[in-house]
Structure 1
Amino acid sequence: MAFGYDTDMALRAAAALANSEHAEPDSLSTVQDLADFVRTWGWTGTVLGTPAELRRVREVRAQVRSLWAPDERAAVERVNTLLAQANAVPQLVKHDEYDWHLHATPSDAPLATRMVVEAAMAVVDVIRDREFDRLRVCAAGDCDNVLIDLTKNRSRRFCDAGCGNRLNVAAFRARQAGS
């Protein structure tokens, strides 16, 4: 599946933000962690780099994670709620190396608000394209990370935390022990 560049990046950043809470150790513990996250995912606009901003971003991780709802109807309700709470007003913008794309908040809106709205707007595209089933939770029984399956054959089952490799190794060892 090929979403637009902005949707693809927003989905990946949303999953990374949602999963950061469950990383060991928490991958958004310091202001420097936040600066690295912002740089990695190409966030533009105002970034204060303060402990208060970090605290607010950490607080919205659950909201972003909630977009990986159990079904499409629940996701629609969650998207609409988050966009309304943020007073989102979509508009076309062009900046830096990016061609025309949508922003639904001003560039000086709080970073945490922009993160939630970007994630919600990306899920809008997923739902409108009838691709909601591409938003998944890791299939490993001991992992609840979220993922986006962008494979052609819809075969991605595991997150980026190494769960697929870990389970494959465990299965291999179990087969070896049984031989």
Structure 2
Amino acid sequence: MDATDHLRDSLDAAVALGNRLGAQWSRGRPQSAGDIESVEAVLRLSTKLSQDVDDRALAEFLAGGARLYAALALLADGSVDAGAARLNELLAATQAAPRLTRPAGSPWHLHFAAPGVSLAHGWLAEFATAAAMLLGSSEYELLKRCEADRCDLLFLDATRNHTQRFCSTACQNRTKVAAFRARVP
């Protein structure tokens, strides 16, 4: 595994968690509140392993995910200083502290949570750290907000020329159909 693969997985999961717990609209539909299954699915994006989220952890994820979304949305909208301030607040609240760990039979890897923090704070610390590392790179402008009406989702532009405007083909198609209908009498 390339060292940057884990960072990319964490960043993808951070955006997914923020979208799931912070966006009001998703692909033209109002988004419902996050649930345990959706949080567990997001965590599998980073670890590929199953994580058991209970009601207490869900409440922490809901609050932290909304804060993460707010920070990422500021970055995507070009308010870099305000987004960085929000990320710093989240890093402090989650007690993010990088340290190397090695579970039995596994190689060393970097965790971003201080010992003894809750499951949610540990993951939120990792996701906030991944977002902070993106902000500290030359690629932070790849974090974008979908341009479709009634879609608040954020995404990382993976196109070669960095011109992606929509989070999905569904939003792109909705926008094209709306433009066509507006032109046709």
Query: TM-score range with shorter-chain normalisation?
Result: 0.7 to 0.9
Matching residue within 63, 68, 84 for 1:64:
68
Distance 1:96 1:132 in 2: 35
Equivalence map 1:47-58=2 (5 Å): 47-58=51-62
Matching residue within 134, 144, 152 for 2:152:
144
Equivalence map 1:26-37=2 (5 Å): 26=32, 28-29=34-35, 31-37=36-42
Q: What RMSD in Å do the two structures reach over aligned CA positions?
A: 3.2
- Deviations for 1:12-56, whole angstroms, at most 9, x for unmatched residues? 111211221335553623x344333433442769x5532121222
Equivalence map 1:80-159=2 (5 Å): 80-93=88-101, 101-106=109-114, 109-159=117-167
What displacement does 1:63 show?
A: 1.0
Distance 1:101 1:84 in 2: 22
Counterpart amino acid of residue 59 in structure 1: A
| 1:11 matched residue in structure 2 | 11
Kindly tell me: are residues 27 and 7 of structure 1, through their superposed partners in 2, closer, same or farther at Cα, counting changes over 3 Å? Answer: farther
Kindly tell me: are residues 19 and 152 of structure 1, through their superposed partners in 2, closer, same or farther at Cα, counting changes over 3 Å? Answer: same
Distance 1:148 1:36 in 2: 19
- Deviations for 1:41-97, whole angstroms, at most 9, x for unmatched residues? 42769x553212122212222111022224222222222222122222112345699
Matched pairs, number: 174
- Normalising by structure 1, report the TM-score: 0.77
Unaligned runs of 5+ in 2: none
Unaligned runs of 5+ in 1: none
- Normalising by structure 2, report the TM-score: 0.75
CA contact (8 A) 1:13 1:41 kept: yes
**Aligned-pair identity (%):** 28
2:97 aligns to what SS in structure 1? coil
Distance 1:173 1:106 in 2: 54
